[in-house]
Structure 1
Amino acid sequence: MNKFLLKALVLASVSVASFADAQFRTRNRMDKLEDFDQQKFSWGFYLNGNLLDYRIVLNPRYGMNENQNLVTSNSSTSFGAGLIAKFRLNDYLDVRLEPGLQFAQRQLIFNTQSNDIYQNGNPQNPAFVPIALTEKDRVRDIKSTLVDVPVLLELHGDRWYNSRPYVAAGVNYIVNLQSNSDSDDDNLQQVFRSTTHNFAWSAEMGIQFYFNKFKLTPAIRGTFFMNNEMVADNATTPPYWSAAVSTLQTRAIMFVLKFE
């Protein structure tokens, strides 16, 4: 379903862009929504498809076996939607607040059975009782519902007939509603825990198209978490999971369709 939605968004954007190009070829055509960008405030909504993955920094002791990475991730596609509030600063700069809801599911694979060699411990690492990892122990399917609140500064060029290019960048405050951060259970009970409150930075580029009744903006946005999302397992849990990962950070590429 997610792959179908992503393909539908891409096809819709291509179709709209082709139609827009055709109507912009007439050089004597009047500009549409001529006063739209002069408003101090404006509103809209957006739909988006995502490609999400994790950036992983492994612990040299528990996350690596010589040159082999013991923890890997599989990316996935997902979707989201949100609202747009624009505040005009001048002819070339806008501030945008675009709160949205993003749905994601990713997978982490822990091939960490080889950490049994550390069972006797040392002064820096406690001893533990090894267990035989099953498929449920090795694979974590991580579902996330993210409340994403980006604040973006948008720089746009001059309008050319009924189109205008722009770039934008800003910061995000992101709440993971399925983080399990307050759970007493951990990976030993097949519960993966991550941080609830997160911060990220985003960069975006796109082209705004003006129609008779609305403005349509297809855009590409990259969002990259700045904080470490990994919550450590309980002290008595063997080092097969969180101990193998020093840093875990979400990164996402988003295809966005905005309607204003």
Structure 2
Amino acid sequence: MAAFLFCSFADAQLFRTKDRMDNLEGFDGQKFSYGFFLAGNNYDYKLVLDPRFGMDGQKNLVQTKSAYSFGAGLIGKLRLNDYFDLRIEPGLQFVEREIFFNTQSNDQYTAGTPANEPFLPIVLTDADKLRTVKSTYVDIPLLIEVHGDRWYNSRPYAAAGVNWMMNLQSNSKSEDDNQQGIFRTTASNFAWSAEIGMQFYFSRFKLTPGFRGTFMINNESVADNAETPPYWSSAMSSVKTRAFMFVLKFE
């Protein structure tokens, strides 16, 4: 019954053309428009491991686990012409991920190598091996959007651009590091994004469901202190966020 009602509503609002005008006919002719969005996210880290401290032969010693999260923000749009818009969509993304360090085998380097000073080994507990990384990103993407012609009350679009992402929980200025259980990352970051979706026009608003991928450009890892054994940050050459989002935009 619910599916029947939804289909009837969609037919009436979007595709039935007899004896009605298109919804929001002049909406896309505005120079400026605004709205808000909600997002469901899947965030993960892309790791490049150090061949000495991050790998044991062909075995990866560091693993990550992605997690689902959510975000929300605002939309500002500048119309460039009939097919291109410039968008800025500042938002907050609330993220939690896990990194598992199975790096006890690095004890073999305690005497020191050209890559590291000698260090005093410790026995890694379960708490030492697991880092739960919580992040709150202020995400400000600037996107160029290209869209097709309207087909009744819908039209496809694609967008791409760059992001500035400030991590409010980076711990970048903490004097403690992984030896005290603190995983540190950079506060200011840059990324690029690509997005695709469909815009639907209703009588009072425009709804845009879309899929977005965001990929960090810079290395987010902050090195552990010099006296910390190479069980954690030394095992990773680079750490970069990658995220996949389902966004719902309301304008």
TM-score (norm 1): 0.92
Alignment of structure 1 residues 192-207 onto 2, 5 Å: 192-207=183-198
Using the alignment, how far apart are the partners of 2:200 and 2:14 within structure 1?
Answer: 10
Using the alignment, how far apart are the partners of 1:222 and 1:236 within structure 2?
Answer: 38
1:114 aligns with 2:117: no
Q: Which amino acid aligns with 1:95?
A: L
Q: Which runs of 4+ in 1 moved over 6 A?
A: 15-18
Corresponding residue of 2:226: 235
Using the alignment, how far apart are the partners of 2:11 and 2:161 within structure 1?
Answer: 30
Q: Check 1:58–1:218 CA distance in 2 against 1; reply closer, same or farther (3 A cut).
A: same
Q: Out of 39-48 and 19-28, give the one that drifted further.
A: 19-28
Corresponding residue of 1:244: 235
Q: Which amino acid aligns with 1:60?
A: P
- Listed one character per residue, the Cα deviations across residues 185-238 of structure 1 (whole Å, up to 9, x for unaligned) are 000000000000000000001111001110000000000000000000000000
Corresponding residue of 1:254: 245
Q: Check 1:18–1:248 CA distance in 2 against 1; reply closer, same or farther (3 A cut).
A: farther
Q: For the Cα contact (< 8 Å) 2:14–2:201, is it kept in 1?
A: no
Corresponding residue of 1:158: 149
Using the alignment, how far apart are the partners of 2:216 and 2:11 within structure 1?
Answer: 36
Structure 1 residue 182 displacement after superposition: 0.3
Q: Which amino acid aligns with 2:53?
A: Y
Using the alignment, how far apart are the partners of 2:185 and 2:147 within structure 1?
Answer: 37
Corresponding residue of 1:5: none
Q: For the Cα contact (< 8 Å) 1:30–1:161, is it kept in 2?
A: no
TM-score (norm 2): 0.95
Q: What secondary structure sits across from 1:233 in the alignment? A: coil
Q: Check 1:198–1:92 CA distance in 2 against 1; reply closer, same or farther (3 A cut).
A: same
- Unmatched segments (≥5 aa) in structure 2: none
Alignment of structure 1 residues 113-192 onto 2, 5 Å: 113-192=104-183
Using the alignment, how far apart are the partners of 1:103 and 1:254 within structure 2?
Answer: 12
Corresponding residue of 1:216: 207
Structure 1 residue 123 displacement after superposition: 3.3
- Listed one character per residue, the Cα deviations across residues 106-154 of structure 1 (whole Å, up to 9, x for unaligned) are 0000000000000001233210000000111000000000000000000
Using the alignment, how far apart are the partners of 2:7 and 2:211 within structure 1?
Answer: 14
| Aligned length, in residue pairs | 246
Report the identity percentage.
65
1:65 aligns with 2:65: no
Match of 2:70 among 68, 76, 79: 79
Q: Which amino acid aligns with 2:97?
A: R
